[in-house]
Amino acid sequence: MTIKEVTCCAPVNIAVIKYWGKRNKELILPTNSSLSVTLDQDDLRSTTTARLIESAGADQLWLNGSQVEITPDSRLARCLAELRRLRAQVEASATDASEKDELPESRRALVIVSENNFPTAAGLASSASGFAALTFTVAQLFELPMPAEQLSCIARQGSGSACRSLLGGFVAWDMGKAINGEDSGARMVAPQAHWPDLEAVICVVSDAKKGTSSTGGMERTVQTSPLLQHRISSVVPARMAEMESAILSKDFDKFSELTIADSNQFHAVCLDTNPPIFYLNDVSRAIISVIEELNRSSRLAGKGTVAAYTFDAGPNAVIYAPRSEMATIVSTLLHYFPLAGSFDDPKRYLQKKSSNLSLPAGFNMNVTPIWPQGSVHRLICTSVGDGPRVLSTEVGKGLITLEGSPRSMLNGHK
Amino acid sequence: MTIKEVTCCAPVNIAVIKYWGKRNKELILPTNSSLSVTLDQDDLRSTTTARLIESAGADQLWLNGSQVEITPDSRLARCLAELRRLRAQVEASATDASEKDELPESRRALVIVSENNFPTAAGLASSASGFAALTFTVAQLFELPMPAEQLSCIARQGSGSACRSLLGGFVAWDMGKAINGEDSGARMVAPQAHWPDLEAVICVVSDAKKGTSSTGGMERTVQTSPLLQHRISSVVPARMAEMESAILSKDFDKFSELTIADSNQFHAVCLDTNPPIFYLNDVSRAIISVIEELNRSSRLAGKGTVAAYTFDAGPNAVIYAPRSEMATIVSTLLHYFPLAGSFDDPKRYLQKKSSNLSLPAGFNMNVTPIWPQGSVHRLICTSVGDGPRVLSTEVGKGLITLEGSPRSMLNGHK
């Protein structure tokens, strides 16, 4: 019996058809299907190291540098129990007599250390990438012989949208029908390489107010919004089909139309909740106005849609656009929402441009005033990414020192 | 033939079940019924003087001190034509031979002067009280023998919600079925005196941004919101019935629940519009948070609902509450949203209170920060009011001088 260790990372995903509402809270089964774009792990990721120690005992977990207790009824405990159950199945069918007397892996204790390379304060959903990384890492450690689609049903029980981070590219989460949730998981609609022209910029918006949690919020919406049922039964199914075909045909106009409509409808059902839930603030609304005005003036000039915006359960905007439009989008955002610090432009959008705005003719500059510096405090430029990656299988090379304590790998690997 | 003149005033009304969507744009027939509370004209009103001059010719109109051209296709022209048509019917059936050779009133020119006693900048819908005052005044001048309910169908063609300002108290606008709109007008659910305990405070919220017009906004919602049809067909009919019975039984808890839900749903369908329409800003959202927290903590303490909020097509809040709760509400609002000027407290809400806040036990003071002075720039305290009033039938005693020019009566009568 030896110490085993695996380190993996998993990506963030941002939905373009939104998940909002559970039909089963324990298994996290959604009231509607959803669809997301996996973002590049080179930019945003959760990294997890899981180590199997040589004895049984309580599992230990460190999250972003702090030790976290794994309470018995927690979602985390549920994911780990499910992974152990699958490992025990593997062990039961194993015929290798040499391991017979050893403590089986499914009964050995785990030490898990996980961290995000983006600040939680950034307001980006870290639970999706976090539970995806944890599920994927432990599955690697246990050498579970199952595809990512099946693992996604485990990650889903940690955090619903985590299931979509088990795959790269464009990912549907089919709501499924089975009572045990076995058909409610991720499915790749198109791989990362399918639409290389599509990129994303995240506007991190300052917000003093602590928003409503997703879990509590969606439960309240399910219980009180008269409009949600109509969204679930009559709007989303058609939108899912249209979105899949827009992605397969790389039709950005349609992709944008659906993405924008679904983001706004998600926030509409939040507002239709009692008490109402607000995630957008005045800066979010101003970003919407700027993007809508870019699209309006571009179409007026006989050109296509410039950008699609979408907002999750917070004030941050995620803007998807073809690479050719990013110089215009980023320079326009920087004009109306000057950063407090500098914009480092990792994708060199502004390299070939003068610092002047290059806007569509007919763009109404008065669409919003110029906001106080720092109202948007960061722009993160990224692209479509792949699924979880194995970074290391060597003991001591990940987030756990040889001695067994947590170690940060922030800036340690790209 | 002599000069005739009438001066009347008409109230503002604020809907608790919202009108949003036309099924016929010319006749202004709505996609759903709505229900409003008429506010007291002692506080907010439109005043109109209409004078019949001794000759035919073009009508003349002054609105809030500025002359306004009456274009042939305008809603104003439509209202006046309708009133003249009804006057001509009266004339056709008249048997009084002495007036036979005179120019009939229906063919004489009108001079109309109208003004509101509240600034347009206050963002309060002035078109409802304005068109109600105009319709009522000209109907008085023409001595039209019809009830306010029937006149409301004329005012409706000027501005939909104007029909509800033809009556006092609690007023339904039944959407009707007739193609010509004859059954789409106001109906009194309960008179002013029915619920004397109910009062209102209007929070006038500063907003730099010019909002989307109601007319353009509701047209866009009808065309693009997938949720609106569900609201129209499945939500509003039941809410109308529940609201009427809440009013008849003076059930403030239910009145508040429905008022809040319908305001939020109206703003939800605005957000579900393409491009989305925003009327609430961060100050509006903060007012909502404060009122929701008052209600939550009051219920937690075993008491009833403190207040109901509703927002029309702008950031201003209208808060309905029992008189006994107004001291708490107003002092709480003044705490979180300090005015730039003083609060004159016409209803003496704060008279018997110390200046300290008297909040329900368990009220979370951190519900919102204290906002910069002037974020709410005025509180207007008012109550449920009556319908249009005739102020004068003497020539020269209204908003038109004997010589025929407009004269302001602001502060002239209470």
ipTM comes to 0.91
Contact B288 A276 (CB under 8 A): yes
Which residues of chain A neighbour B264 with C-beta distances below 8 Å? Answer: 271-274, 276
pLDDT of the residue at A414: 35
How far apart are the C-alpha atoms of A40 and A13, rounded to whole Å? 9
Res. B81 pLDDT band, cuts 50 70 90: very high
CB contact under 8 A, A235 and B257: no
| Distance of residue A16 Cα from the nearest chain B Cα, in angstroms | 15
pLDDT at position B232 is: 98
d(CA B286, CA B367): 8
Q: Please give the C-alpha separations between residue A249 and each of A189, A246, A253, A309, in angstroms, as whole numbers.
A: 12, 5, 11, 20
The pLDDT value recorded for residue B248 is 98
CA-to-CA distance for B189 and B187, rounded, in angstroms? 6
Q: Where are the beta strands (DSSP E) in A152-285?
A: 170-173, 186-190, 198-205
Nearest chain A Cα distance for residue B308, angstroms: 12
Tell me the C-alpha distance between B11 and B136, whole Å.
11
A272: contact with B, CB 8 A cutoff: yes
Q: What is the pLDDT averaged over residues B259-281?
A: 97
Out of B268, B274, B281, name the one closest to residue A227 (CB).
B268
Query: Is the CB of B369 less than 8 angstroms away from the CB of A292?
Result: no
Could you tell me which of B294, B266, B277, B284 has the C-alpha nearest to residue B359?
A: B294
Binary contact (B274, A261; C-beta < 8 A):
yes
What's A173's DSSP letter? E
Residue B411 has pLDDT above 70, yes or no: no
Å from B218 to nearest chain A CA?
A: 16
Q: Give chain A positions within 8 Å (CB) of B288.
A: 275-276, 278
Compute the mean pLDDT over every residue in chain B, rounded to the nearest whole number.
93
Nearest by CB: B276 against A264, A269, A368:
A264
- The reported pLDDT for the residue numbered A126 is 78
Q: Which of B17, B265, B287 to mutate to test the interface with A (most CBs of A within 10 A)?
A: B265
Residue to test with chain B: of A32, A224, A271, most B Cβ within 10 A: A271
Residue numbers in A near B208 (CB within 8 A)? 369
With a cut of 90, say whether residue B207 has pLDDT above it: no
Answer yes or no: do A226 and B265 touch at CB < 8 A: yes
Kindly list the residues from chain A whose CB atom is less than 8 angstroms away from the CB atom of residue B285: 278, 281
CB contact under 8 A, B265 and A230: no
Q: Does A231 touch chain B (CB under 8 A)?
A: yes
Residues in chain A where the model's pLDDT stays below 70: 96-101, 120-123, 125, 208-210, 352-356, 409-414
Q: Could you give the percent of chain A with pLDDT greater than 90? A: 87
Cα–Cα distance, B69 to B61 (Å, whole number): 7
- Asked if A334 is an interface residue toward chain B (Cβ–Cβ < 8 A), one would say no
The three-class DSSP label of residue A394 is coil
Q: Which residue has the higher pLDDT, B11 or B2?
A: B11
Q: Which residue among A227, A264, A278 sits closest to B265, beta carbon to beta carbon? A: A227
- A296 interface with B at CB cutoff 8 Å: yes
Indicate the residue type of B51. R
Q: How does pLDDT run across B361-386, given as a tens digit for each residue?
A: 899 999 999 999 999 999 999 999 99
Which pairs with CB-CB distance under 8 Å and at least 24 residues apart come from A64-69? A64/A114, A64/A115, A64/A116, A64/A120, A65/A115, A65/A406, A65/A408
pLDDT computed for residue A81 by the predictor? 97
Averaged pLDDT, B231-238:
98
- The verdict on a CB contact (< 8 Å) between B271 and A281 is no
Q: Which of A264, A270, A298, A306 to mutate to test the interface with B (most CBs of B within 10 A)?
A: A264
Q: Say whether residue B367 is in contact with chain A using an 8 A CB cutoff.
A: no
CA distance A211 to chain B (A): 11
Window B:104-123, CB contacts with A under 8 Å: none
Per-residue model confidence (pLDDT) at position A210: 67
Comparing CB atoms, the residue among A268, A271, A292 nearest residue B275 is: A292
Please answer yes or no on whether A272 and B276 come within 8 Å at the CB atom. no
**Inter-chain contacts counted by CB atoms under 8 A, chains A and B:** 85
- CB of B297 within 8 Å of any CB in chain A? no
Q: Which of A209, A226, A268 sits opposite B271 (nearest CB)?
A: A268
At A23, the amino acid letter reads R
pTM of the entire structure?
0.94
Q: Is B274 close to A282, i.e. CB distance below 8 A?
A: no
Among A265, A282, A292, the residue with its CB nearest the CB of B227 is A265
Distance from CA of B318 to the nearest CA of A (A): 17
Q: What pLDDT score does B408 carry?
A: 78
- Is the minimum CB–CB distance between A242 and chain B shorter than 8 Å? no
pLDDT value at residue A96: 66
Output the pLDDT for position A413.
Answer: 40
Instruction: Name the residue facing A267 among B271, B274, B285 (closest C-beta).
Output: B271
User: Hey, which residues 158-217 in chain A have their CB within 8 Å of chain B?
Assistant: 208-209
Phi, psi of B143 (to 5 degrees): 50, 50
| Three-state SS letters, chain B | CCCEEEEEEEECEEEEECCCCEEECCCCEECCCEEEEEECCCCCEEEEEEEECCCCCCCEEEECCEEECCCCCCHHHHHHHHHHHHHHHHHHHCCCHHHCCCCCHHHCCEEEEEEECCCHHHCCCHHHHHHHHHHHHHHHHCCCCCCHHHHHHHHHCCCHHHHHHHCCCEEEECCCCCCCCCCCCEEEEECHHHCCCEEEEEEEECCCCCCCCHHHHHHHHHHHCCCHHHHHHHHHHHHHHHHHHHHHCCCHHHHHHHHHHHHHHHHHHHHCCCCCCCCCCHHHHHHHHHHHHHHHHHHHCCCCCCCEEEECCCCCEEEEEEHHHHHHHHHHHHHHCCCCCCCCCCCCCCCCCCCCCCCCCCCCHHHCCCCCCCCEEEEEEEEECCCCEEEECCCCCCCECCCCCECCCCCCCC
Can you give the pLDDT at residue A353? 55
Per DSSP, A279 falls in state -
User: Chain A residues with CB inside 8 Å of B32's CB?
Assistant: none
Q: Distance (Å) from the C-alpha of residue B161 to the closest C-alpha of chain A? A: 23
Contacts A209 to B, Cβ<8 Å: 368
